Chains A and B, each alone.
Chain A
Amino acid sequence: MNYEKLKDAEKMLKEANKLTKLSFARWSADWAEATPLYEQAGLAFKLAKETAKAKEAFEKAAMGQERLLSPWQAAKHMEAAGGLAKELGNWTEVADFYKRACELYAESGKPQPGADALARGARALEDAVPDEAVRLYLDSCAILEEEDKEQLAFDTYRAATNLYLKLQRCMWLWSRFEDAANMLLRWGLAADKCKAIQSQCKAYLSAIITYLYAQDLKQAEQCHVDCTQIDVFLQSEQNACAEKLLQAYREADPEEIKYVVSKSSTIQHLDHMIIRLAKQLPTGDMKAIASASGNIQDNELDVNNCIC
């Protein structure tokens, strides 16, 4: 029976190709007839696990729907094609398909599914081409922010942050921590716009922990100072926890840090990636970290004294 279905699918594909191919006898392609044939062929190939042919069929179906001025359907077919391209391992095609799907969704007047499509594409590319995945995540967040739908972006922010931290683990690039922390601060900003106080405070605390894990006490403290300008964070228990942690770091007391992390219920309710980071604190040489931040402060004071 599968073989028969496959044959039917091939027939449909051929028929549809004939309808769309321009030749001497045919001056314009008959997309109205061809598009449903392409869709059916694509489904049949997908069921029969003929991924390449299914992908081709869905691509053509999407093109057809576009010509028929139905961008929504076209976008859906593009996404399907993207999923199939992922199975085939054509990463560039995956990215292109999902981006095109997003554009088509925007054309049909629905940018939010477009952002979702980008997020799905990014998830598909996470393992293979993480940089591209990150770019797609950022684009998705940007679209949602433009549409004032920041609340829906939370999941995307979380996914992007987790990706950065995963990358750091695999490639051991310190810059990834900064990127992750930046992403968390952007998340906090989005939460602030939609008054999601809990998420906002959690995001800020996560950012401070990320900086501390990266052994950058100065950045962590600056981040903390910036965040305390926000009233909501100042009064939250996440701020209390952050202060205790930073105090322990200033005193270069690893036992105190471990105690704060283990006793604090606030940290236990953050994202699991952040909890993992927090449990590994303190990283590196405590005295070096404390003195590094202290020295920088002393230098600043000297400069001020000179000027005075």
Chain B
Amino acid sequence: MTVISILTRLDTLCKKYEKYDLEKQGGAQDSSNDAFLKLYKLMESDIEAALQKSSDASIEKNRAAVATLNAEVRRAKASMRNEISHLQKLAHKKVKGVTKEELAARPDIVLGLVGKIEAIPEGTIMGIKPKGGKPPAIPFEIKMDGVNPEDLIHPEQYQDTEESKGFREVVQKKKGKQDEGLEVISEGLETLKNMAQDINEELSRQVPLVEEIDSKVDKAALDLGNTNIRLKDTITKLRSSRNFCIDIVLMCVVLGIAGYLYK
């Protein structure tokens, strides 16, 4: 019995006896009334997923995959931050079946959740090794998320500093080098294009000649075949057994005459 068949059987059994599953029933009943709990559970599962992704990113060797995973983690954190405000509103609502102490504890739970979200590692760029002669690593963490409300409060972050000016110059130089490289490539491509067009014309010139050769060779092959057949017929006629016998008989006659004459 394979693992897969065991699993499928398990699934069918569970589905069959679902109605006896108290925990699920109880949970479903609770969540149908309590939007806070629903959202809380959702956010917990999202945090789990984000943590999983970030641990994968730390193990992953392929840089592109690491970058993608980090970007996904950051996106998840941003969406969760947006949900937190909604959760905070729900935390203050009165819900049936929830005690007063539990209600009072909900805002703390929310804050705990916020802490958990912020704690998820998202692979910042602090790990760049500074190479000799280049300016140090980017001073500000590059935020790929939406507008952070903190940025609006602290606009000084976007003013030019010496470091950022230096960085801009480096970027311009690199762009210049890229442009030079691209020019070289474009020249090469133009040469290739011209050569390809000339080859194209030459080939179209050769096409009718090759077709003519083809038809002439076909004709010659046909003629050869015919000639071979005729040759074969002629040879068989020449060397037919009847002629052979006649030749032998005549030769015997000649020999006989010669022998008689010598005698």
Q: How far is the CB of B189 from chain A (nearest CB, A)?
A: 10
Q: Do A152 and B205 have beta carbons less than 8 Å apart?
A: yes
Q: How far is the CB of B215 from chain A (nearest CB, A)?
A: 15
B162 touches A (CB below 8 Å): no
Q: Do B194 and A265 have beta carbons less than 8 Å apart?
A: yes
Q: Do A198 and B190 have beta carbons less than 8 Å apart?
A: no
User: Hey, what's the 0/1 contact readout for A132-159 against B, CB within 8 Å counting as 1?
Assistant: 0000000000000000000110100000
Main secondary structure of the interface of A (DSSP, over half): helix
Taken together as a complex, chains A and B put the C-alpha atoms of A161 and B201 apart, in Å, by: 20
Please give, as numbers and ranges, the residues of chain A lying within 8 Å of B200 by CB-CB distance: 198
Main secondary structure of the interface of B (DSSP, over half): helix
A196 touches B (CB below 8 Å): yes
Taken together as a complex, chains A and B put the C-alpha atoms of A266 and B194 apart, in Å, by: 8
Q: How many residues of A contact B (CB 8 A)?
A: 9
Q: Do A265 and B198 have beta carbons less than 8 Å apart?
A: no
Question: Which size bracket describes the interface of B in this complex?
Answer: 10 to 19
Taken together as a complex, chains A and B put the C-alpha atoms of A152 and B201 apart, in Å, by: 11
Taken together as a complex, chains A and B put the C-alpha atoms of A198 and B194 apart, in Å, by: 9
- Picked from A196, A266, A269, the residue with its CB within 8 Å of the CB of B201 is A196
Taken together as a complex, chains A and B put the C-alpha atoms of A199 and B194 apart, in Å, by: 11
Taken together as a complex, chains A and B put the C-alpha atoms of A131 and B229 apart, in Å, by: 55
Please give, as numbers and ranges, the residues of chain B lying within 8 Å of A151 by CB-CB distance: 204-205
Please give, as numbers and ranges, the residues of chain B lying within 8 Å of A198 by CB-CB distance: 194, 197-198, 200-201
B141 touches A (CB below 8 Å): no
Chain A residues close to B by CB (< 8 Å): 151-152, 154, 196, 198-199, 265-266, 269
Chain B residues close to A by CB (< 8 Å): 187, 190-191, 194, 197-198, 200-201, 204-205
Extra 12 A-B pairs, beta carbons < 8 Å, given A199-B201, A265-B187, A265-B191? A152-B205, A154-B205, A196-B201, A196-B205, A198-B194, A198-B197, A198-B200, A198-B201, A265-B190, A266-B194, A269-B191, A269-B198
